[in-house]
Amino acid sequence: MNKLAKNPLSEENKFEKLKEASDDVLIIGPSGAGKGYLAKLLQTESKTRANKNFIHINSASINSTIFESEMFGHIKGSFTGAFQDKEGYCSKVKDGDLFLDEIGDLPMDLQAKLLVLISDRIFIPVGSSETKTFYGRIIAATNKNLKKEVACGKFREDLYYRLSNFVLNVKPLCEQKDKIPELVKLFLKEENSDIVFEKSAIEYLSAQKWQGNIRQLKSVIKRIIRYDCDKKLMKKENIILYIEEENESDDNLEDKDLPVLIKTLFDKINGNLRTLIKLFVECALKLNKQNITVAAKNIGIGRKSLERMMKKYKISRDE
C-alpha cells in the first residue's frame, strides 16, 4: 500500500500537498479508475489526518426527501417518524473527511444545499434553529466533465468553482500500466491470498486494454483467486482464459439491444429463469458502469426495485 501511495494513480506532487491539507478536493477520472482509493489514501497516508473519521457517501443514491436529515441530522419531532434526535454525516465526520462520490449525479436542488455547506461551513439540522459549524473536509469525485455539465445546466456553476480549487486527475489504467504489478499485490492482500503472479502473467495483464480500469482488473483478480485458489504460482497460461472471458463479455455488452441480449442469455442458461434474471441484472450494472441509479432508469424500474433484486439474487457491484 505504501509503495502504491507514493504515486497513487494521480499527480504525485499535488497528492503529497493535499493529504496534509484541510482544503476541499475534487477528484476527476473515468469510472472504475480508483477515485475511491485515492480519496481514502488522502487520509490514510496523511501524518495529521490518518486517525480522523472518513465517511463515504454515494451522491447518486441520496434520496432527495431525506437528504437534509442524512447530511445535517434532525431533532425529535421535526417530521413524521422523527422519534428521536439524529446526528447527520456533517456532525459524525467531525474534523475528518466527507467523501461525496459521484458528485456529478447530485440533483440540482441538493446541489444548492451542498453549496451553503461548502461555502459557509455551516449547517442546520432539520427542525432546529441552531446553526452548527462544519469542521470537516469535503472530498468530491466524479467521472463527468463538470464544465460541460455546467454548460448544459446540469451542474451549478458556483458549486463547481467552489469544488475545483484543488483538483486531482486520475488517469485511466491504460495510461499507467506501470501501476498494475502493485495493484495486483494490493488486491491479493485485500483477499488474504498468498498466490504469486509470475512475471509472464504480470506482463500479460499489463498488455491488456482494461477499458473498465482498476475495477475491471480487480474483478479479474478476485475471479482468479476464487476459482484457482489451489494454485500458488499463477502463470500466463493460467490467466489467459480469464482475460478472454472478460474481453468476450465486453464485446457482447457492446450490443445494447436488450431483447437480443436476453435471448442470448436465455439460450445460454437453458431457460432457467432465476439464473437469467441474475445475469440480466449483472449485465445491466456492467453496461451502466455499476451505477445502480442509471442502470435502474435504463431498464425501466426504480432504484429501490433494482436494489431489492440485487439483494434477492445476492448480486454485488464490482468495486
Tens of pLDDT along the chain (319 residues) come to 444 444 445 566 778 888 888 899 999 999 888 899 889 989 988 888 889 999 999 887 777 778 889 999 999 988 888 899 999 999 999 999 999 999 998 888 889 989 999 999 999 999 999 999 999 999 999 999 999 999 999 999 999 999 998 999 988 998 888 889 989 998 998 888 888 999 999 999 999 989 889 988 998 898 888 877 677 888 888 888 777 666 655 544 444 445 555 555 556 566 567 777 887 888 888 888 788 888 888 888 888 888 888 888 888 876 5
Task: Report the SS3 class of residue 52.
Answer: coil
Q: What's the whole-model pTM score?
A: 0.69
CATH for the 173-253 domain, from 1.10.8.60, 1.25.10.10, 3.40.640.10, 2.40.50.140? 1.10.8.60
- pLDDT confidence of residue 266: 58
Name, in order, each residue with C-beta under 8 angstroms of 157's C-beta and a sequence gap of 6 or more.
150
The rounded Cα 13 to chain-centroid distance in angstroms is: 24
Report whether 59 contacts 102 (CB < 8 A).
Answer: yes
Residue type, 244: E
Residue 247 grid coordinates = 474481453
Name, in order, each residue with C-beta under 8 angstroms of 308's C-beta and a sequence gap of 6 or more.
none
**CA-closest candidate to residue 42, choices 168, 187, 163:** 168
Task: Report the SS3 class of residue 235.
Answer: coil
Report whether 182 contacts 173 (CB < 8 A).
Answer: no
- pLDDT confidence of residue 28: 94
- pLDDT confidence of residue 79: 86
CATH of domain 2-169: 3.40.50.300
Domain with CATH 1.10.8.60 in the chain: 173-253
Domain with CATH 3.40.50.300 in the chain: 2-169
| Cα dihedral 274, 279, 282, 284 sign | negative
Give the β-pairing of 137-142 and 132-133.
Answer: unpaired
User: What is the rounded distance in angstroms from the CA atom of residue 262 to the CA atom of residue 302?
Assistant: 20
Backbone angles phi, psi at 133, to 5 degrees: -90, 135
